[in-house]
A and B are shown apart, each in its own frame.
Chain A
Amino acid sequence: MAGALYLPLVKEDMHPTEAELAARLHVPLGYRDAAMEETERALLCEIRPAMTAVRVKISRPEGGGLLLGDLPVCSKGLEKNLEGCGEAFLFAVTLGLCCERWLKKVSLLSPAKHFLADGLASAYAEAAADLADAILSKDLDTAPRFSPGYGDLPLSIQKDLIRVTEANKYLHIELKDNLLMVPQKSVTAILGIRTSAEGREK
């Protein structure tokens, strides 16, 4: 296995979608107010987004299931998602530990502000995953990314994803016993690379 690619992400390139913001903050699509904007400014001062990724071959053993590099995975949902893919990126992104510390601080001082801060941070974590997705997908035909917890892909696979992407070493992501990540605002994902497009790969 090759070493993982580590890349800091540019905050200015991260754009949470309106749908994500509306869902996280329980507001209508496109809604904005002063408190949201103030909290967003504060959040942007605290995040240090970064990603790690590895590119692996996908094999399909006769007995069923998938092998992502040397990582065995049993998930019908992922199998369907990776149809037509011969390789995949495994990747992890995080907003960093300073953001975690800031969220903890806000939670201790104001539950109302924490609701806003936490929702915005979740939306930005997704935006970080979107950005990583875009960086990795450049000039490739990729499947929609698939994360642990989607469909039947168990959260327990995060342990292996964190290991393989060296996210513990580079991003300092740790998996707790309850399978939640620290920093909480982190995402792991699998991004299939469609074989049919490989000829077009630059």
Chain B
Amino acid sequence: MKKSLKQRIRTERLYFDGGFGTMVQSRGLPPGTPPELWNIERPEVIEEIHRAYAAAGSHIITANTFGVNCEKYENYEALIHAAIANARRAAAPFGAYVALDIGPTGKLLKPYGTLDFEDAVEIFARSVHAGYAAGADLVIIETMNDSLETKAAVLAAKECCDLPLIVTNVYDESGKLMTGADPLAMVALLEGLGVDAIGMNCAFGPDKMAPILRELLKHTSLPVAVQPNAGLPFLKDGKTCFPLDAEEFAKETARLCEMGAMLLGGCCGTTPECIRALALATKDMPYRAPKKKNETVVSSYTHGVIIDKKPILIGERINPTGKKRVKEALQSRNLSYILEEATAQAEDGAHILDVNVGVPGLPEKELLPLVADAVAQVTDAPLQLDSSDPEALAAALRAYNGKALINSVSGKQESMDKVFPLVKKYGGVLVALTMDEGGIPTTAEARVAIAKRILAEGKKYGLSKKDFLFDPLCMTVSADKESANITLKAVEMLTKLGLKTVLGVSNVSFGLPERERINAAFYTAALDRGLCAAILNPHSAPMQNAYYTHCLLHGLDEGAEGYIAFVSEHSTAVPAVATPACGSALTLKAAIEKGMKDEAEQLAKTLLKTEAPTEVINGHIVPALSAVGERFEKKTLFLPGLLMSAEAATRAFAAVKEAMPKKEAAKTPPILLATVKGDIHDIGKNIVKVLLESYGFPVLDLGRDVAPEAVLSEALASGAPLVGLSALMTTTVPAMEETIKLLKKNAPHVKIMVGGAVLTADFAARIGADFYCADGMAAVHTVKKFFEGK
């Protein structure tokens, strides 16, 4: 029986075609004219180029659709139909396949660019629909330099057709995509999404591809495609030239074939002669089938984390259960605390961060992707998306820029029916709880039996051992003295079966004093039995101690580097709070003046043990701020230093506020700050925010590019007595004036202060502002005066 194309991709060496744009230009396409226009205007030229490649030995002819999408062309369907038809006429006599070619949209995705992820999926989906309808045999997604855009294109292709799918990315010489992903990250992402082959194209010649290819081959179980340029381009007599001729290109690319790349072709600067020479140079080389790697791997937008012999730390701190500040952050959607916690966990060694947003009454489906995206903007650690709501998981997995750890599925049929399809579609590694409809079994054997059932059910979805971390469930030892033994035994049994394991270790000590002692001892015992990953508090020194000593003693810490670094950070010889060079103890006032945030917070907490909150404010924080303000005004301290001090004071204030009796800390209406509509320069506004907060004024920051209506509605909803507006560009001052007019008309009780590089006091008065602030400190004085006068 004739093999399908998918089978051929898996089992044969196949050749693509090569460069196209330069080929069309050499046949008279005027410079600057997109080659795709000739699909309809000069189809005979396009067909002739395709035929030359097919005759040269290309098994796969790439239709001239790289630059076509619905954003660029209203008639994109006609262009794609014509392209596929041209390629088909050329390919048919040679029995070659025709590929729909999908290139980047040319736009950056949010949050850096303007393109929404789902809009990108839609753009690609329209192209795939058109290509499928036109009769393409496969889809090639190529020249992608952003992992998230690659994911959008793959999802579109998978959702619109069942054609074979080959994806090639552009790596730079550092071995990363433009947006930071390394080869392992791309392997994890693309294998998770279920593509048929992966690889790289463009950027440089075959010689520079070898190290990247080595990494791809090390980790992927899929066939690997390489389509190099004919070397690095250079300008000669005003024309772009490529250094490698056909023979040289073939010789260099044949080396990549020797390494194990089995899908071969060319990109910029290559010609049918290159492909003919390449086919000839490789025809006698033995075919090397891709090997199954079976790595359990999750990834972020930059890198992958392989879960294997060396234990993995999963930070548990982004979870509202029992954490008031996380809960408040989720309720207010002010994620600063969560983001600080995310970076702090990563700095303390967490390899993966758990993200759980389950607060009764809050929309988890909306919040989980939102928080996961925000966390991914401040740390490159892969995420564990943690929810019992399959819809929330689906939304977060879809938008996640990587391959996530998913917490969790259980042995309940309903759970598996809902979660397994998500993993099949979006990829991911599953935390599988060894419990089912009957609850949590009381023996290790029964928990292992559930793990086996989960694995068997997973196989129906194409999942295997590598896709699971089994959690044999850690119960509190205070409720059942045997519970820890049962869990440890289950870890050992699962490990012997070749299964990977994970535990939320902190549960073991619930209800007992000095919990960290128990947690660390239990964690060590579990590690000794083969535990692969633990969900824990990475800030805990005893847990870190357990981790680093285990790694050291089990040969998992080359040169004892991890242990030494840990000890140097946590040596008991180092005092908790640094002291100045003179040896005298650091004071809160000095810490604020020096801009030392962490120290200021710690010192405020220490002072609160012996002094009333108001004494800490009036006796330490306010004097420090006065000193700093005075130095700034005398020009012996400058803006960066002023801001650092302000941030330190804010941290100290936050500690004091926590300690205040509820009545004293009663909510006062905030000062509203916004950069006006159309203006995205928010540094000035942020300076004012930092300074006001350092003086203890509550601030509600509406961000930048804020519409007048939004400022009004927030002013009314929050009861703010004062609104601060900022604009940097002359073009956005009218928006400031419009906002002031709207506020004066609908909220006449609200006073307005304005600032920004293009404003003057006169102009501020002319557009109706109550106060003009020339700089950040002027804003502080204005606000102090405003409240004193009230």
Contact = CB atoms under 8 A, between A and B. Distances in A.
B370 interface: no
B643 interface: yes
A112 B647 contact: yes
A108 B339 contact: yes
Contacts of B644: 35, 112-113
A178 B679 CA distance: 9
Interface stretch (A12-20, A76-84, A94-102, A189-197): A94-102
* Max chain B Cβ within 10 angstroms of own Cβ: one of A1, A31, A100, A108: A108
Interface stretch (B351-359, B634-642, B742-750): B634-642
A48 B172 CA distance: 11
B629 interface: no
B240 A2 contact: yes
A174 B240 contact: no
A153 interface: no
Nearest to A105: B378
B303 to A, nearest CB: 13
Contact of A2 (B238, B377, B378): B238
A27 B638 contact: yes
B235 interface: yes
Interface stretch (A60-68, A114-122, A128-136, A140-148): A114-122
Interface in A146-194: 168, 172, 174, 176-178, 180, 182-183
Contact of B647 (A27, A104, A110): A110
Interface string B109-127: 0011110000000000000
Contact of A168 (B106, B172, B340, B646): B106
A125 B267 CA distance: 31
B778 to A, nearest CB: 14
A70 B240 CA distance: 19
Nearest to B687: A115
Contact of A108 (B233, B377, B647, B687): B377
B315 interface: no
* Max chain A Cβ within 10 angstroms of own Cβ: one of B112, B145, B640, B687: B640
A178 B641 contact: no
A111 B689 contact: yes
Nearest to B106: A168
B108 A112 contact: no
A180 B731 CA distance: 13
A101 B113 contact: no
A5 interface: yes
B683 interface: yes
Contacts of B161: none
Given A105-B378, A172-B178, A35 B641 contact: yes
B114 A177 contact: yes
Contacts of B635: 28
Interface of B: 31-32, 106-108, 111-114, 145, 172, 174, 178-180, 233, 235, 238-240, 336, 339-340, 343, 374, 377-378, 595, 597, 635, 638-641, 643-644, 646-647, 678, 680, 683, 686-687, 689-690
Instruction: List the 7 closest pairs (A to B, CB-CB), nearest first.
Output: A3-B240, A112-B643, A2-B238, A26-B639, A111-B686, A27-B638, A112-B647
Given A27-B640, A35-B595, 7 more contacts: A3-B233, A26-B640, A104-B377, A109-B339, A111-B690, A114-B686, A118-B683
20 contacts: A3-B233, A3-B235, A25-B638, A26-B639, A27-B638, A27-B639, A33-B641, A48-B174, A105-B378, A108-B374, A109-B343, A111-B686, A112-B640, A112-B644, A112-B647, A112-B690, A115-B686, A174-B113, A174-B114, A180-B680
